[in-house]
A and B are shown apart, each in its own frame.
Chain A
Amino acid sequence: MSEPQKSGSGRRDFLGATAAATAAGLGFTVLAPGMQLIKFAEANTNTVNTASAATTHTASAKVRWGMLIDTTRCATGCTDCVTACATENAIQPGSGRPGQSSQWIRKIELKEQATGREISLPMMCQHCADAPCVDVCPTGASFKRADGIVLVDRHSCIGCRYCMMACPYKARSFVHEELTQQNPEVPRGKGCVESCTLCVHRVDKGQEPACVEACSKGDHTAMLFGDLNDPASEIAKRIATTATSQVRADLRLDPGVRFQGI
């Protein structure tokens, strides 16, 4: 009878000693190789996380990022925006199946049959306020950030491609092949659906999306990026004073991308 009691008290002493060691400033407790006191481990994890959260900026619901595309300035045959997007997000053509390559942005040439008027415009994810891709996603991977940017969380995307079916703008692509040349800020991989992120990694740093920057550099300035909610922003002023429209406005998805001259 005395044996178990002895070992019991021994264990208690051991635990007490390790707890004391923790209090002495170790910060976490290893009971044995492979075993840790969970309470202390979690507390420590939280400390590390909180410290990181305090120093960073987060997406704000006060902002609604949007884009205005002036089709009267968009040059026929120019693909500066498409090239810039591919460079920034490391989008490369797939091997041998061009139809399966990712398209985050594409150029479209339209002709009005009755008048012969031709226009050119870039088409990409319209970052809808009521995005159908978000509605249909079975895992919650397709989501809208507080600032209106619609994204795919690849950590939870199962590659079912339901969002691709739901999107009326044909904005999403599926990655069919393994990738190795990703931009470290833009993780992409086989088996996930992806689309224009409005260059979220750049926007979070206070920069414009790569396509907008390229369009300005190419002296077309057909693309304008900004906060639709801020009345002082250039984009808000432009849409308040000129006639602009949303593509397939009849679907009432309230896209964040607006077009002028279509």
Chain B
Amino acid sequence: MISTVLSRLGLAIVLGFGLSAWAAVAADGGRVPKPVVKIERPGQCVAPPEVIRRTHMDLLVHQRDRTVHLGERGAKISLNGCIACHASKTTGSVLGSNENFCQSCHAYVAVKLDCFECHQPKTGLIKSAVTAGAKP
């Protein structure tokens, strides 16, 4: 009898917690915090945001081969170009925390971001010539 009461109490507690958690979630609109898409140096991107969101990885992967193998420099699509506009003004980087542009979305969608194992994520070191072709 006691065990039945306890188990019912337990169920009630579990339900209570579950409901209150659900209510909290519903209040802010989602179970995961939305990524912070803060564009530090707004201007015209190389393509509309809808296209960039879906295809930035394809654009970059095609251009990287053209740059490495054919020596195309100053192309419209360039990782350094992305970094030049999107690096955080405080840290100068697109990585470092979930407030920073690249990491923010990649953390949200749980996609590994390995560009920056070789590429420099900070703007400070970029020489002007590199970013010359970044904007149309």
Contacts and interface: CB of A to CB of B under 8 A. Distances in A.
Contacts of A155: 64-65, 68
Given A45-B58, A52-B63, A59 B80 contact: no
B51 A154 contact: no
- Number of contact residues on B: which range applies? 35 or more
B120 A145 contact: no
A190 B68 CA distance: 18
B120 A58 contact: no
A225 B106 CA distance: 43
Contact of B47 (A48, A151, A192): A48
A55 B74 contact: yes
A185 B130 contact: yes
Interface string A151-190: 1011100000000000000000000001101111101111
A7 interface: no
Given A41-B55, A155-B68, A184-B126, A204 B120 contact: no
B46 A204 contact: no
B58 A184 contact: no
A197 B122 CA distance: 23
Contacts, number: 110
Nearest to A40: B51
28 contacts: A27-B48, A28-B48, A36-B54, A45-B51, A45-B58, A45-B59, A48-B59, A49-B77, A52-B77, A52-B133, A53-B72, A53-B75, A55-B74, A56-B75, A57-B73, A59-B70, A59-B71, A145-B70, A154-B118, A155-B65, A182-B118, A184-B83, A184-B130, A187-B118, A189-B118, A192-B118, A204-B71, A204-B73
Interface of A: 27-28, 30, 36, 41, 44-45, 48-49, 51-53, 55-59, 143, 145-147, 151, 153-155, 178-179, 181-185, 187-190, 192, 200-201, 204-205
